[in-house]
Structure 1
């Protein structure tokens, strides 16, 4: 059967097939992208405006058991690069850790969803303030809740690739990396009619083979500059304090709407988002 040339999913499928042939040529070298660029100065938050630290501030994060501990064992990468600007078509080969802006545009990003418990609540908060964000979805979760995937897009947010089952890509052979990213892109294209243009590796861990596969699939890789640490569940106040104190022009904030109970993330977002707006920050979705 010949693919319909008018089918918007056809280019994605061709990419998937073409990229699959190239996977076997990839080496096993490791590469983490970094830059010596200086980050912009953080916002002068008035300490009186910040929520009081959670009682466990300064203490080790709570112990996370079993599969969840494996899922979140890595920390953010250091350094920063720039994504292509809005509307740009070429794939950017390097990991972006900040937005390329001198203004107060920032990006709120949410990983590991969609989740029927927390994603709708996060969407309501964003809708209340007319804010756009970027959701790095796990393929198997999105396949289970396609209605939530459509709701994210209907609200004007960006859907991006966060692999199919959230493995550490740098521990996989290239063929399995391709399956993780390619399967998710194909599912998004089948559900929404358009494949994702952005990807984030689980744990933020990229290497040369996985970055090459990301590029072959038509996606630019994205990291973060602020880890809200919501995955440790330290309490909404501590999450909000972490975000506000790290805030600066071009910041990309890492939070989660799935992968576990995220009620603290929901509460923290509702607290810090209006304060960001009051200080002149404008959260935008990330554009490839």
Structure 2
């Protein structure tokens, strides 16, 4: 084969390969807003590893509202949460109805959880979620004393009440910029919903953000 023919063949093959490969992939779409994904009642050896794995695989970050008793029992899982890029919040020590307790008891529930999470390697929480979303002036005052911002939620996924995977995904689909959703780490349907939650948010230009201790709203991660 003559040199000119060989060169023409090489160029032709290169052009054909480029056309098959197609254009370079587009950059990820920018975030048009941020939402706060939250998971209560952890950590545990039974549920935390699978949840963290699912969140990581789907590019999601979340706030984990841990009970102090479980943070003390499973410190390795607290460290795994932070290592996976999650934020750790205070969800009381034993998950009582805080509004039925006296100030000293509320103080114990909150302070012991701060200590348990910090001792486990989760840092010092700046966010607090009262169990059942029940609060009053006493609970708020004690939380403030420990530098905690009280976080309730805008949307309840109802995963604690047996909600289906579809229902959990649809609940996440109702979130708007800055809003927060309540989920839990133990329901199997919540774990199964994670990939579709990621798809639903991405389809609406929303990203999983951090919850600001200043405003209590979801914002871009630091």
Q: What TM-score, normalized by structure 2, do the two folds share?
A: 0.78
* Residue among 99, 102, 105 paired with 1:170: 99
What is the number of equivalent residue pairs in this alignment? 183
1:180 is paired with a residue of what secondary structure? Answer: helix
The CA distance in 1 between the partners of 2:109 and 2:67, in whole Å, is: 10
Structure 1 position 287 matched with structure 2 position 212: yes
Residue equivalent to 2:48: 119
Out of 143, 147, 160, which is 1:214 matched to?
143
Q: Paired residue for 2:172?
A: 243
Q: 1:243 is paired with a residue of what secondary structure? A: helix
Query: 2: distance between equivalents of 1:221 and 1:191?
Result: 22
> What CA deviation, in whole Å up to 9, does each residue of 1:6-50 have, x standing for no partner?
xxxxxxxxxxxxxxxxxxxxxxxxxxxxxxxxxxxxxxxxxxxxx
The equivalent of 1:254 in structure 2 is: 182
Superposition deviation, residue 268 in structure 1: 1.5
- Post-superposition Cα deviations, 1:43-70, rounded to whole Å, max 9, x if no partner, equal xxxxxxxxxxxxxxxxxxxxxxxxxxxx
Gaps of 5+ in 1: 1-102
Cα distance, 1:193 vs structure 2: 6.7
Structure 2: how far apart are the matches of 1:264 and 1:129? 16
Give the corresponding residue for 1:271.
196
CA distance in 1, matches of 2:38, 2:49: 15
In the alignment, is the contact (CA less than 8 A) between 2:93 and 2:109 conserved in 1?
A: yes
**3-state SS, counterpart of residue 139 of structure 2:** helix
C-alpha distance in structure 2 between counterparts of 1:287 and 1:155, whole Å:
19
Alignment CA distance shift 1:230-1:217 (3 Å): same
User: Which TM-score applies when normalising by structure 1?
Assistant: 0.61
3-state SS in 2 of match to 1:192 = coil
Q: Could you tell me how far apart the structure 2 residues matched to 1:125 and 1:279 are?
A: 20
Q: CA deviation at 1:247?
A: 1.8
After TM superposition, give the deviation of residue 104 of structure 1 in Å.
1.3
Distance (Å, rounded) in 2 between the aligned partners of 1:242 and 1:195: 30
- Dislocated runs of 4+, deviation >6 Å: none
Higher relative contact order (CA 8 A, sep 6+): 1
CA distance in 1, matches of 2:195, 2:44: 18
Which secondary structure does the structure 2 equivalent of 1:112 belong to?
Answer: strand
Report the 3-state secondary structure (helix = DSSP H, G, I; strand = E; otherwise coil) of the residue aligned with 2:181: strand
For residue 136 of structure 1, give the secondary structure of its aligned residue in structure 2: strand
Matches within 5 A, 1:5-20: none
Query: Which position in structure 2 is the counterpart of 1:106?
Result: 35
- Give the distance between the partners of 2:170 and 2:122, measured in 1 at CA: 38
Aligned to 1:132: 61
Match of 1:190 among 110, 114, 119: 119
